[in-house]
Structure 1
């Protein structure tokens, strides 16, 4: 815990500096601390992403980053020092209950992220993507080694830029820090709600009630946490300035949306919000168009460059853009296999069953899934059906716009991969909206916050196995805090895995021993891939991953084996 806290202090200072510089250079006139923080983190992520195209995010990167930090600190000394003083003032001005509540949640967040990571994706590609960025930067055709590595998120770029891997190998806690920022923003808005009575402040103020669902993600660099927090911030800005958005707020909203999309493109429907503003308020917002074009070009350019380097295609996964653009492009047949598996994954169906089901039957199957999946699927649909009733009491048009954006998001998920976590931001926001209609008095809200903290205490300090609640075969037991983590956190992987060295053609790789997770790579040395996975694609597709040269930095390609017959997987 202590080491994580020390690293957070440097990270917070760094992104505060970058946010201060971004605020000044782009002339954004940011009033919300979390918007300035996110602006700084976004600019730092774009810088790190550009750097990783040409080199690794290692001590060289951090040396330049430190120099830039010192330059920014000198150039904008009065602004960033004033910003810190204002943050301290905002904290000290909270009422005693909210101040105590925030401190308690902060300690629990710190304890949770010092514990073993929970998210299974951490063991398949989070750790490996971050390690590749730290050791080599973006590597051509890395997807050919393990196609989950093609899902490299902007959040993993941010994490790899701020995990200090050259100093210590157990920092992977950026998601937890960002949740902490989100909770601080929410308690600030809750205090303001007690004074103003504005509903959108109450909705954000209820955000900590969702922590019981978010804690499972924060001990790993999960992009989902960022999407959930930023959805509340984006919706808050949209409602707050709906009637008359200034150019500065419009740029802020656009930057938040772009960063969210760079972190996770399943949140693409959020882009409808700045687009709506631009159309409705064109005359007053057209002056900001050059800055919007700059930000969009930077984000899109880095997104496409990332995909072209790692996947060999401009967008992954996508049937529209699939093709052999480079010698290291992922073979079309494997990309289509991945795309089809992604669609079936949300229904837990075999290929034969999926193909035989009608759209209505698929929907009913998805809705009737047992355990946690079915629960959140039903909850998402129920909230979408009930929400129009909310508008009998809520007259502001802004909420109706947000509702239609969430409807579109649900529709797109059904067309791609209907996993409930891809709509969880909508579930959480609609849930807080519904709660705000019935619980709006100070004492009641305080009571709800206290009650919601009880399961957090249980989850952090008591081992709980979620297998009984989930359909996922590899759902892990929730990690719990132990006294040995007070100074040094648990390793970045939940498992103390051993690896064997395997050869396939010119490729020598490491494969985990004694495990049953087909996609598992854990925290293995580079390059790591499950030998069963290599054999699978060799058998069914007659393709094997190979190095493009003797240097791992030159990347990988899929080599076609000289067999005519093909078996259908």
Structure 2
């Protein structure tokens, strides 16, 4: 916990001065601390992403970052000093219950981040993607080694810039820090709600009651946390200034949406919000077009170049731009296999059953899934069906537009990969909206906040078996805090895994021993891939991953074995 806290203090200072500088460069007139923080985080992420084109994000990068921190800290000293003082005054203005809640939840956040990671994607590609960035930067054709590595997120670039791998190998806690900022923003809105009684402040202020659910994502560098936290901020800005958005707010909203999409492209429909503003308020906002176009161009450029290097295609995952553009592009056989697995994953069906089901049968199957998946799927549909009735009470049109965007989002996800965690931002926001109708008095809100902390205490401190609730394998026990984590956190992988060194053609790789997770790579040395995965693609597709040269930095390609007969499993 203590080491994580120290790292967070340095990261927070970095984001403050970069956000202050960005606010001056873009003239965005940011007044909300969380917006300034994301502005700083976005700029550092872009800097790290460009750096990774040419080299590793290692001590050299951190030396350059430190030099820039010193320069920007000196250049904008009066501005960021004033921002710190204003944040202190905001905190002082909170009531004692809000202060007490925030202190307690901050300690729980640190405890959870110090505990073992829980998200299974951490064991298949989160850790490995960040290690590749730290040790080699962006690597050509990395997707050929393990196609989940093609899902390299902008959030992993950000995490690679702040895990200080050259000093310590147990920092992957940026998601926890972002959630801490999200809770601080919610507490501030609650404090303001009790004075001004604006509903959107209450809706955002209720965000922390979802802590039990969100805590399970933060001990790993999960991009989902970015979507959950920033969706509330994006919806807040959109609804607050719905009728007459300023140019500065329009640029802020666009930047927040772009950073969210860079972290997780399943949130693509959020881009409709700034687009809506631009169309409806064109006469006022068209002067911002050059600045917004520059932000969009830089973000899209980073996204496309990242994909071209790691995947050999401009957009991944997407079948719109499939093709053999480079010698290291993913072969069509494996690409087809990937998309087939992706589309049926949310239904827990075999390929044969998926192909035999109609759209309506797939919907019923999705709706009737057992355990946690079925529960959240039913909740999604229930909220979308019932929420229009709320608009007889809530007259603000901004809520209706947000609701429409969420309907589109669920439709897109249902057509691609209908996993409930991809719509969780909508579930959380609509749930808080409904709660705002029945819980609005100060004492009731305080009671709800503290009651919601009780299961969080239990989940953080006591082992909880999730086998009865979840359909996913390997999600059997929540990570919980142990006294030895007070100083040093748990390693970045949940599992203590041993690896064997193997060779396939010119590829020397490491494979985990004694595991039954087909996609598992854990915290293995580079390059790590499960030998069962190598054998599977070798048997069914007659393809094996190979190094392009003797240098791992030069990347990988998929080699067809001689006299192969293609067949699909």
Same fold (TM over 0.5): yes
CA contact (8 A) 1:122 1:522 kept: yes
Matched, 1:15 2:7: no
Matched, 1:479 2:479: yes
Matched residues in 2 for 1:250 and 1:524: separation?
A: 44
Matched residues in 1 for 2:20 and 2:467: separation?
A: 45
Match in the other structure for 1:105 = 105
- Residues 116-127 of structure 1: matches in 2 within 5 Å? 116-127=116-127
- Offset at 1:475? 1.2
- Offset at 1:467? 1.5
- Residues 9-158 of structure 1: matches in 2 within 5 Å? 9-158=9-158
- Offset at 1:45? 0.4
CA contact (8 A) 1:119 1:476 kept: no
Query: 3-state SS of the aligned residue for 2:216?
Result: coil
CA contact (8 A) 1:120 1:476 kept: no
Matched residues in 2 for 1:234 and 1:156: separation?
A: 21
CA contact (8 A) 1:344 1:354 kept: yes
- Residues 26-425 of structure 1: matches in 2 within 5 Å? 26-425=26-425
Match in the other structure for 1:460 = 460
- Offset at 1:566? 2.6
CA RMSD of aligned residues (A): 0.6
Matched residues in 2 for 1:58 and 1:91: separation?
A: 36
- Offset at 1:333? 1.4
- Offset at 1:476? 3.4
Match in the other structure for 2:556 = 556
Matched residues in 1 for 2:95 and 2:440: separation?
A: 17
Matched residues in 2 for 1:4 and 1:140: separation?
A: 32
Q: Deviations over 1:419-471 (max 9, x none)?
A: 00000000000000000011111111111001100000000000001121011
Matched residues in 1 for 2:22 and 2:146: separation?
A: 36
CA contact (8 A) 1:118 1:476 kept: no
Of stretches 235-244 and 313-322 in structure 1, the one that deviates more from structure 2 is: 313-322
- Offset at 1:89? 1.3
Match in the other structure for 1:428 = 428
Q: Deviations over 1:180-236 (max 9, x none)?
A: 000000000001000000000000000001111100000000011110000000000
- Offset at 1:91? 1.1
Query: 3-state SS of the aligned residue for 2:525?
Result: coil
Query: 3-state SS of the aligned residue for 1:216?
Result: helix
Matched residues in 1 for 2:474 and 2:111: separation?
A: 24
- Offset at 1:316? 1.1
- Offset at 1:401? 0.2
Q: Deviations over 1:224-275 (max 9, x none)?
A: 1110000000000001110100110000000000000000000000000000
Match in the other structure for 2:541 = 541
With the length of structure 1 as denominator, give the TM-score of the two structures: 1.00
Query: 3-state SS of the aligned residue for 2:217?
Result: coil
Matched residues in 2 for 1:334 and 1:300: separation?
A: 26
Query: 3-state SS of the aligned residue for 1:468?
Result: coil
Matched residues in 2 for 1:547 and 1:567: separation?
A: 24
Matched residues in 2 for 1:474 and 1:343: separation?
A: 21
Q: Deviations over 1:255-299 (max 9, x none)?
A: 000000000000000000000000000010011111101000000
Matched residues in 1 for 2:565 and 2:164: separation?
A: 48
Q: Deviations over 1:505-546 (max 9, x none)?
A: 000000000001000000000000000000000001000000
Query: 3-state SS of the aligned residue for 1:469?
Result: coil
Aligned residue pair count: 569
CA contact (8 A) 1:317 1:335 kept: no
With the length of structure 2 as denominator, give the TM-score of the two structures: 1.00
Match in the other structure for 1:445 = 445
- Offset at 1:118? 0.5
Query: 3-state SS of the aligned residue for 1:525?
Result: coil
Matched residues in 2 for 1:371 and 1:563: separation?
A: 46
Query: 3-state SS of the aligned residue for 1:375?
Result: helix
Matched residues in 2 for 1:535 and 1:478: separation?
A: 32
Query: 3-state SS of the aligned residue for 1:478?
Result: coil
- Offset at 1:474? 1.9
Match in the other structure for 1:532 = 532
Query: 3-state SS of the aligned residue for 1:546?
Result: strand
